[in-house]
């Protein structure tokens, strides 16, 4: 297998707060390969977004403290200087967020915002950058792109703005795209079109994708592998089919029971996960999921489970095997 595009090793992120240090990401390690999509899934507060912001040095330090390594094509993103990371961000690693209105500048045209990175990172002339901007709008399915390139963000619908963000994300042919709830606010049809577009770019450009979402249901059709985060720690990692078929971790099971799974062949009654995620300033000494886990045994409260590999490519942090679960 070729070297991963990104190899994250023991990433830990904490914040100084008045109530003590909040550990938001704990020893998080994973790889993403060329043309691969890795989904990072968890509830709000699981650390999934913070872990990606930390990779690109987008967290204010202090109050954040970022430890560990994140080798991108062999160079550590975490220890890069400000000017080195600026050269990587938006160029070789692109990030798309949920709300394009906070990422797009309302007083600049779409064309201007698409052309800037092309001129800065790719050294394109005005004419070449404009032609490329129109081509990119066409790629992400904006009708009449030559006529829309001089429009402002408010002249686009929400779905169209999100497509523009994707066009900006891929404009410099990045090696890695991080999409953080990038299609959550969109209608199902637009979501499907954007997912198709990203898949096509993966096939054409070998793009590696990290897909961050709270919804394990949506990753079935898009991800090759899934990492499930809870309380800042990895609970389970697996190729996509095994996550759905084997459901080895009680938290993964609870997540799957709480969402309708697209394309799933097992209709089920949706169940909310009882209780709240842990307070990052007061993480329990044992398994972070123990207070909400219906399978917890005595040792779960005091003894944090280590990741173990029950099968090749499958890692799970739980003291029990599915045969021990009582449901
Ligand atoms: Fe539940 Fe214990 Fe497994 Fe944690 S280690 S998920 S508390 S059974």
Cα(235) to ligand 1 centroid in Å equals: 10
pLDDT digit string, tens, across residues 140-154 = 788 999 999 999 999
The C-alpha angle 16, 22, 23, rounded to 5 degrees, equals: 120
Cα(303) to ligand 1 centroid in Å equals: 10
Please name the residues in contact with 327: beta carbons below 8 A apart, sequence gap of 6 or more.
294, 295
pLDDT at position 114 is 94
Cα(236) to ligand 1 centroid in Å equals: 12
pLDDT digit string, tens, across residues 195-222 = 777 888 788 888 999 999 888 877 887 8
- What average pLDDT does the segment 315-327 reach? 84
> What mean pLDDT, rounded, does the chain reach?
87
pLDDT exceeds 60 at position 188? yes
pLDDT at position 211 is 92
CA-to-CA separations, 183 to 93, 162, 192, 283, 287, in angstroms, rounded: 19, 8, 9, 31, 32
Cα–Cα distance measured from residue 196 to residue 175, given in angstroms and rounded to the nearest whole number: 18
152: left (phi over 0), alpha (psi -120 to 50) or beta: beta
Cα(46) to ligand 1 centroid in Å equals: 16
Percent of the chain with pLDDT over 70: 94
Best of 230, 283, 287, 310 to mutate for ligand 1, by most ligand atoms within 8 A of CB?
Answer: 287
pLDDT at position 232 is 93
Cα–Cα distance measured from residue 249 to residue 227, given in angstroms and rounded to the nearest whole number: 12
Cα(35) to ligand 1 centroid in Å equals: 33
203: left (phi over 0), alpha (psi -120 to 50) or beta: alpha
Best of 234, 254, 290 to mutate for ligand 1, by most ligand atoms within 8 A of CB?
Answer: 290
Cα(285) to ligand 1 centroid in Å equals: 13
pLDDT band per the 50, 70, 90 thresholds, residue 85: very high
pLDDT at position 318 is 96
pLDDT digit string, tens, across residues 90-110 = 788 988 877 666 678 889 999
pLDDT at position 298 is 92
pLDDT at position 199 is 83
Q: Within 69-222, where are the H helices?
A: 82-88, 100-103, 110-122, 126-139, 145-148, 158-170, 188-205
pLDDT at position 319 is 94
Q: Which atom of ligand 1 has the smallest separation from the CA of 305?
A: 5
SS3 state at 188: helix
pLDDT at position 304 is 92
Cα(302) to ligand 1 centroid in Å equals: 11
DSSP 222: T
- What average pLDDT does the segment 240-251 reach? 86
Entry pTM: 0.87
- What average pLDDT does the segment 46-69 reach? 91
pLDDT exceeds 60 at position 60? yes
pLDDT band per the 50, 70, 90 thresholds, residue 132: very high
Best of 297, 298, 308, 319 to mutate for ligand 1, by most ligand atoms within 8 A of CB?
Answer: 319
Cα(44) to ligand 1 centroid in Å equals: 20
pLDDT exceeds 80 at position 265? no
Best of 297, 299, 303, 308 to mutate for ligand 1, by most ligand atoms within 8 A of CB?
Answer: 297
Cα(68) to ligand 1 centroid in Å equals: 26
Pocket of ligand 1 (CB under 6 A): 250, 287, 289-290, 293, 295-296, 300, 305, 318-320
Cα–Cα distance measured from residue 248 to residue 315, given in angstroms and rounded to the nearest whole number: 9
Which residue's alpha carbon is nearest to atom 3 within ligand 1?
318
Q: How many helices (H) and strands (E) does the chain have?
A: 10, 12
pLDDT exceeds 80 at position 187? no
Q: State the helix-helix crossing angle for 126-139 and 110-122, rounded to 10 degrees.
A: 120
Q: Which atom of ligand 1 has the smallest separation from the CA of 287?
A: 4
């Amino acid at each position: 297998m070729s070297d991963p595009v990104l190899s994250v090793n023991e990433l830990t992120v904490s914040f100084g707060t008045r109530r003590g240090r909040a550990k938001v990401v704990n020893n998080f390690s994973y790889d993403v390969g060329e043309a691969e999509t890795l989904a990072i899934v968890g509830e709000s507060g699981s650390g999934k977004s913070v872990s990606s912001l930390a990779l690109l040095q987008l967290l204010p330090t202090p109050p954040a403290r970022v430890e560990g390594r994140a080798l991108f094509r062999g160079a550590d993103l975490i220890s890069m200087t400000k000017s080195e990371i600026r050269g990587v961000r938006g160029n070789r690693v692109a990030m798309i967020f949920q709300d394009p209105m906070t990422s797009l500048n309302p007083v600049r045209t779409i064309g201007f915002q698409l052309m800037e990175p092309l001129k800065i990172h790719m050294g394109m002339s005005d004419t070449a950058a404009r032609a490329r901007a129109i081509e990119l709008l066409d790629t992400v399915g904006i009708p009449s792109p030559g006529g829309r390139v001089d429009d402002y963000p408010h002249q686009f619908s929400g779905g169209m703005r999100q497509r523009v963000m994707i066009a900006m994300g891929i404009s410099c042919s990045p090696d890695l795209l991080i999409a953080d709830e990038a299609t959550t606010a969109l209608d199902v049809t637009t979501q499907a079109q954007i997912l198709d577009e990203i898949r096509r770019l993966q096939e054409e450009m070998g793009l590696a994708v990290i897909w961050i979402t709270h919804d394990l249901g949506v990753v079935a059709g898009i991800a090759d592998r899934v990492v499930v985060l809870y309380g800042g720690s990895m609970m389970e990692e697996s190729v996509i089919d095994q996550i759905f078929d084997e459901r080895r971790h009680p938290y993964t099971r609870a997540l799957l029971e709480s969402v309708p799974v697209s394309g799933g062949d097992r209709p089920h009654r949706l169940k909310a996960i009882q209780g709240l995620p842990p307070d990052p300033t007061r993480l329990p000494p044992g398994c972070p999921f123990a207070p909400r886990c219906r399978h917890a045994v005595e040792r779960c409260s005091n003894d944090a489970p280590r990741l173990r590999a029950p099968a090749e490519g499958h890692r799970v942090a739980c003291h029990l095997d599915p045969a021990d679960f009582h449901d």
